[in-house]
A and B are shown apart, each in its own frame.
Chain A
């Protein structure tokens, strides 16, 4: 700590269990919306989810096929790089493991791609072994378009820009490549506990 901001007292987090709020974050009861462009609205009849790239077999699911896959209920904390955190959010979704296994994915990196052109890159180990989902429900209701519906990636242990809204597929890659925000100054991995917000963090 280098100095003190004269007169700043601050509000200590109230009721936050210790160890749940990463450094530089604060709790919010709301669910703020942040995105780079208009909210895409694609009809479910045209929606597909694809696993492609370095895979044994490209797999594509329609909405009905996707919803017929085994799903899980997830209760987790989420952390946005803009410094809000929200505890005990409830989701339902399909484990990314299920999708990767179906395609025979075998590469160390993935690029998630979305309606509207958004992309985000992730190491395979951050989306496998029960660490990520393609979520279609939030708080017991279908996921709202502003929050990424009909389905978004959910990778809660990383900053929330990695949980790509309107996700339409995963591309398996041999080499890591920056996605949308990662090419605009944001960190390649984005671990909130290490405060990996921007390049060089």
Chain B
């Protein structure tokens, strides 16, 4: 897998802590929804640092979008969120990962469970689902701390439709009139919003380790087959 030179062509703020970076990558050949890339930065003295970031955009040939959350004591994410601007260049290689991937031929129902910036690879799946007009039933269960922390907020509202349902929980603070969930994703919540095990949903769980451990264990506890629960975890040192 070769390193490719990428140029930031646009950046946009998603939340106070996260930013989407649109990259043009000559030589890029597309990705499968759920995959990630390695990003490498090079300082003036030749020092390099690299990290992995999930791709948020639907597959396309011209490049990709990353949505990056700032880890305050991180090394790479503060640069990507606060410093990078259009015209700047970095290196990427990928796409990486072939398991935490959903494409329409894998079927469904498609159960997506996200905490915080764990929504990014799941958004690639939902955007792809919309782009190809898939009729696979999909449901995103998405936990954020507050409404201001919800990544892709406006777009998520637009994605909801006959085949796609968006279920949100705000665990720390809710706006007046909030009628979504207000607690962490636990077994009772998943029992309410996930399909019954007999319908054999294909589940993708992504977020901080604690959330992923809890959600994956809850799904298994409800009787979902472990082999149909795929997980991806963002450790505390993702930054």
Contact surface of A with B, Cβ cutoff 8 Å? 1-12, 24, 26, 28-30, 32-40, 82-84, 116-117, 146, 180-181, 183-185, 197-201
Give the interface SS of chain B, mostly helix, strand, loop or mixed. Answer: mixed
Complex contact B96–A198 (CB within 8 A) = yes
| Complex contact B5–A10 (CB within 8 A) | no
Q: Is the CB of A35 within 8 A of B1?
A: no
CB distance from A180 to the nearest CB of B (A): 8
Instruction: A2-B5, A6-B88, A82-B235 are known; give 10 further A-B pairs, CB within 8 A.
Output: A5-B42, A5-B89, A6-B89, A8-B49, A10-B41, A34-B233, A36-B99, A37-B226, A39-B213, A200-B1
Interface pairs (26), CB distance under 8 Å: A3-B42, A4-B43, A4-B44, A5-B42, A5-B89, A5-B90, A6-B89, A7-B84, A8-B42, A8-B83, A24-B48, A30-B237, A32-B235, A32-B238, A33-B209, A33-B233, A34-B235, A36-B230, A37-B226, A37-B229, A39-B213, A83-B50, A146-B213, A183-B98, A197-B38, A198-B96
Interface centre among B49, B219, B226, B231 (most CB of A within 10 A): B49
Q: Is B102 interfacial (CB-CB < 8 Å)?
A: no
Q: Which chain B residue has the least Cβ–Cβ distance from A9?
A: B43
Do A10 and B235 contact each other (CB < 8 Å), given the known contacts A36-B100, A184-B98?
Answer: no
Could you tell me which residues of chain B, from 96 to 132, have a CB within 8 Å of some CB in chain A? Answer: 96-100
How far does the alpha carbon of A148 sit from the alpha carbon of B11 in the complex, in Å?
39
B46 CB-CB contact with A under 8 Å: yes
Interface of A is mostly: loop
With an 8 Å Cβ cutoff, the count of chain B residues facing the other chain is: 45
Bound-state CA distance A52–B235 (Å) is 35
Say yes or no: A84-B230 contact (C-beta < 8 A), given A5-B88, A24-B48, A32-B209: no
B213 in contact with A33 (CB, 8 Å): yes
Distance of A53 from chain B, by nearest CB (Å): 23
Given contacts A33-B213, A37-B229, contact A84 B235 (CB under 8 A): yes
Are B233 and A32 neighbours in the complex by a CB distance under 8 Å? Answer: yes
B55 within 8 A of partner (CB): no
Contacts of A5 in B (CB 8 A): 41-43, 79, 88-90
The answer on a CB contact under 8 Å between B51 and A7 is: no
Whether the Cβ atoms of A84 and B237 lie closer than 8 Å is yes
CA distance A30 to B238 in the complex (A): 11
Alpha-carbon gap, A12 to B51, bound state (A): 15
In angstroms, Cα B38 to Cα A7, docked, is 19
- Residue B148 at the chain A interface, CB threshold 8 Å: no
Pick the 5 closest A-B CB pairs, nearest first: A32-B235, A184-B98, A38-B216, A28-B237, A5-B41
**Cβ of B52 < 8 Å from any Cβ of A?**
yes
**Chain A residue contacts of B1, Cβ below 8 A:** 185, 197-201
Which residue of the partner chain B has the closest CB to A6?
B88
Minimum Cβ distance to chain B for residue A43 (Å) = 15
A7 & B231 in contact (Cβ 8 Å cutoff): no
Q: Which residues of A contact B236 (CB under 8 A)?
A: 30, 32
Interface residues of B in 200-239 (CB under 8 A from A): 209, 213, 216-217, 219-220, 226-227, 229-231, 233, 235-238
Residue pair A38, B98 in contact (C-beta under 8 Å): no
Let me know if A10 and B226 touch, CB within 8 A.
Answer: no
Residues in chain A near residue B84, CB distance under 8 A: 7
Chain A residues positioned under 8 Å from B227 (CB to CB): 37, 117
Instruction: Please tell me if B13 contacts chain A, counting CB pairs below 8 Å.
Output: no
